[in-house]
Amino acid sequence: MFKKGILLLLTLLVVSFMFAGEFNVSAGKTYTLSPAPNANYADTGTKLTDGSFNFSWGDMVGWDNPVANPTIVVDLGAVFEEISYVALKIMYSAPSAVNLPEYFIVSISEDGELYEDLGMGITYAEAPVPNDTIATLYWANDEFVGYGRYVKIEVVPGGNAWTMVAEVIVGDGAIPEELGAVVGGTMDLTEAATVSVGKPYMLIPLSSDAYPDTDSIEVTDGFARYSWADMIGFDNPAINPTIIIDLLEPTSIVRVSGHFMRSFASAVNLPKSLLIGVSDDGMEFRNVGLATITNPYPAQNEFINEIYWVAVEPVVARYVKIEIRPRGNAWTMLAEATVWAVK
pLDDT for residue 187: 86
Looking at every residue in the chain, the average pLDDT score rounds to 94
Mean pLDDT value across residues 2-16: 40
Could you tell me the pLDDT band of residue 6, with boundaries at 50, 70 and 90?
very low
Q: What are phi and psi of 9, to 5 degrees?
A: -65, -45
pLDDT surpasses 70 at 17: no
From CA 277, how far away is CA 284, in angstroms rounded? Answer: 10
The pLDDT value given to residue 5: 42
Residue 21 has a pLDDT of 57
Closest residue by Cα to residue 84 from 155, 147, 14: 147
DSSP E strand boundaries for the chain: 30-34, 61-64, 71-92, 103-109, 115-121, 123-124, 133-140, 146-156, 162-172, 193-194, 201-204, 232-235, 242-262, 273-279, 286-291, 293-295, 303-325, 331-342
From the list 138, 152, 173, the residue with the least C-alpha distance to 31 is: 152
Mean pLDDT of 248-269: 98
Distance of CA 313 to the CA centre of its chain: 16
Residue 34: pLDDT band (50, 70, 90) is very high
Q: Which residues lie below 8 Å from residue 324, measured CB to CB, with a gap of 6+?
A: 234, 240, 241, 242, 243, 258, 271, 274, 332, 334
Per-residue pLDDT tens for 203-238? 999 999 999 999 999 999 999 999 999 999 999 999
**What 3-state class would DSSP assign to 8?**
helix
Per-residue model confidence (pLDDT) at position 9: 38
Query: Whole-model pTM?
Result: 0.92
Torsion from C-alpha of 184, 185, 188, 192, nearest 10 degrees: 130
Mean pLDDT of 131-146: 97
CB 97 within 8 A of CB 80: no
Q: Considering the domain delimited by 2-179, tell me its CATH architecture.
A: Sandwich (2.60)
User: Residue 189: CB partners within 8 Å, gap ≥ 6?
Assistant: 254, 255, 310, 340
Contact 165, 74 (CB under 8 A): no
Q: Cβ–Cβ contacts within 10 Å for residue 227, how many?
A: 11
Exposed, middle or buried, 32 (CB in 10 Å: 0-12/13-18/19+)?
middle
CATH topology of domain 193-342: Jelly Rolls (2.60.120)
Phi, then psi, of 157 in degrees rounded to 5: -60, 155
Instruction: For residue 15, give the 3-state DSSP assignment.
Output: helix
* Confidence at residue 239, expressed as pLDDT on a 0 to 100 scale: 96
pLDDT at 128 over 90: yes
Residue 246 Cα distances to 193, 220, 320, angstroms: 16, 11, 7
Of 78, 70, 72, the closest CA to residue 102 belongs to 70
Query: Does this chain's domain 2-179 share its CATH topology with 193-342?
Result: yes
Whether residue 29 has pLDDT greater than 60: yes
pLDDT tens-digit profile of 151-190? Answer: 999 999 999 999 999 999 999 999 999 999 998 767 899 9
Domain coordinates in residue numbering, the chain: 2-179, 193-342
